[in-house]
Chain A
Amino acid sequence: MNPLNAEEKATYEWQMWTRGFGEAGQVKLKNATALVSRTGGLGGPVAQELAAAGIGKLILAHGGKVKHSDLNRQILMTHDWLGKPRVECAARRLRELNPRLEVEAVPANISEDNVTDLVDRAHIVFDCAPLFEGRFAMNRACVAQKKPLIDCAMFGLEGQVTTILPGETPCLQCIYPEIPPGWKREFPVFGAVSCAAACFGVMEGIKWLSGMGPSLAGRMLYYDMRTMRVRTVPLRRRPDCPICSAA
């Protein structure tokens, strides 16, 4: 593993004081690659927090161009980039934040066509896609390649996060065997609600990468910012799950 240089030691000094993390955890983070599906309301803050924390490489996958309706929550997008590719805007902002970060900007959303290759090149995957088709594709690829999947989602004032460890925990299709009816591409969203799910997810990922251990394996954290109720829900593997029962 590549060790930390003097600049990195100075930059990450305060987080290396965290019990159980230390310089050894920071080195693991520096040598890690994360795939982040989309760089919107969830994926944007996921990528930002991973970049700030010192992850070595980010692979960002997001198609489309910046629109006005992105700007209430997609914190890596800027007004001056309206009409230009989202993923390039995100990569530009992340390089400003952390010039040591290697960023690969893929101008396409996760699909069956690209998911196997993208997951193959990452140590960990952050699922921040707005449609179940993309989420299921990542789940299948992560189970097949035995890669951890941090699944983050939100709706309205609510959010949820779980950590999927293939072979150990329920996979996404144990939790949702089918594409749920009635889910629409557009949904009510405040940026702060998305950002909270992103931050919970990032810490799960950092804990897994650094060896501190994820705590949401087999559990789903659920929060409601309307009532400020936070809970964790136990999850079960489905013995007949077509995706992970053989894993």
Chain B
Amino acid sequence: MRVTVQYMGQLGHLAERSEESRELPEGASLLSLLEGLSAQYGEAFGHIVFTGENRIRPSMMVLVNDVPVEKTTPPVLRDGDQVTLLAAIAGG
């Protein structure tokens, strides 16, 4: 299945893209997607997304099809889902 991932804030800077399409196995979870992205885009990316206990950081906003997800129980993804990752920003 394919999902679209949109990056906002520092994550787009680190991934050097605003959006991409990713091929995932059927039934893949949001958590496995984020783990794959963190492995690909490096330690700084992973540090923004995950806590040391491999949980999605409270300061991360994650949307699936524009709906905020409950980070303690990340959902299973479906073909065509749009995942948006918003890293906190404070620039002025």
> Is the CB–CB distance between A129 and B18 below 8 Å?
no
Which residue of chain A has its CB nearest to the CB of B44?
A182
Closest Cβ of chain A to B59, distance in Å, is: 4
CB neighbours (8 Å) of B8 from chain A are 158, 222, 224
With contacts A40-B92, A128-B92, A194-B92 taken as known, whether A156 is within 8 angstroms of B12 at the C-beta atoms is yes
Name B59's contact: one of A154, A180, A194, A226 (CB within 8 Å).
A180
Closest Cβ of chain B to A141, distance in Å, is: 17
With contacts A178-B57, A178-B59 taken as known, whether A158 is within 8 angstroms of B92 at the C-beta atoms is no
Within 8 A of A (CB), among B5-37: 8-10, 12-13, 18-19
Distance in angstroms between the alpha carbons of A236 and B68 in the assembled complex: 9
With contacts A181-B47, A233-B61 taken as known, whether A129 is within 8 angstroms of B92 at the C-beta atoms is yes
Name B89's contact: one of A155, A231, A235 (CB within 8 Å).
A155
Distance in angstroms between the alpha carbons of A55 and B33 in the assembled complex: 48
CB neighbours (8 Å) of B88 from chain A are 132, 175-176, 180, 183
Distance in angstroms between the alpha carbons of A226 and B12 in the assembled complex: 11
CB neighbours (8 Å) of A233 from chain B are 61, 63, 66, 68, 84, 86
CB neighbours (8 Å) of A130 from chain B are 90-92
Q: Using a Cβ–Cβ cut-off of 8 Å, how many residues does chain B contribute to the interface with A?
A: 27
Which residue of chain A has its CB nearest to the CB of B17?
A226
> Is the CB–CB distance between A154 and B92 below 8 Å?
yes
> Is the CB–CB distance between B89 and A177 below 8 Å?
no
CB neighbours (8 Å) of A160 from chain B are 89
Distance in angstroms between the alpha carbons of A128 and B90 in the assembled complex: 8
B87 at the A/B interface (Cβ < 8 Å)? yes
**A130, A160, A226, A236: residue with the most chain B Cβ atoms closer than 10 Å:** A160
Closest Cβ of chain A to B89, distance in Å, is: 4
* Contact mask for chain B residues 58-90; partner A; CB cutoff 8 A; 1 contact, 0 none: 111101001110000000000000001011111
A14 at the A/B interface (Cβ < 8 Å)? no
A108 at the A/B interface (Cβ < 8 Å)? no
Closest Cβ of chain A to B42, distance in Å, is: 12
Distance in angstroms between the alpha carbons of A128 and B66 in the assembled complex: 26
Nearest 7 A/B pairs, CB to CB = A42-B92, A180-B88, A155-B89, A180-B59, A177-B58, A187-B91, A130-B92
A-to-B contact residues, CB < 8 Å: 38, 40-43, 128-132, 135, 152-156, 158, 160, 175-183, 187-189, 194, 222, 224, 226-227, 231, 233-236
A-B contact pairs, 8 of them (CB 8 A): A42-B92, A129-B92, A180-B48, A180-B59, A181-B47, A187-B91, A233-B66, A234-B67
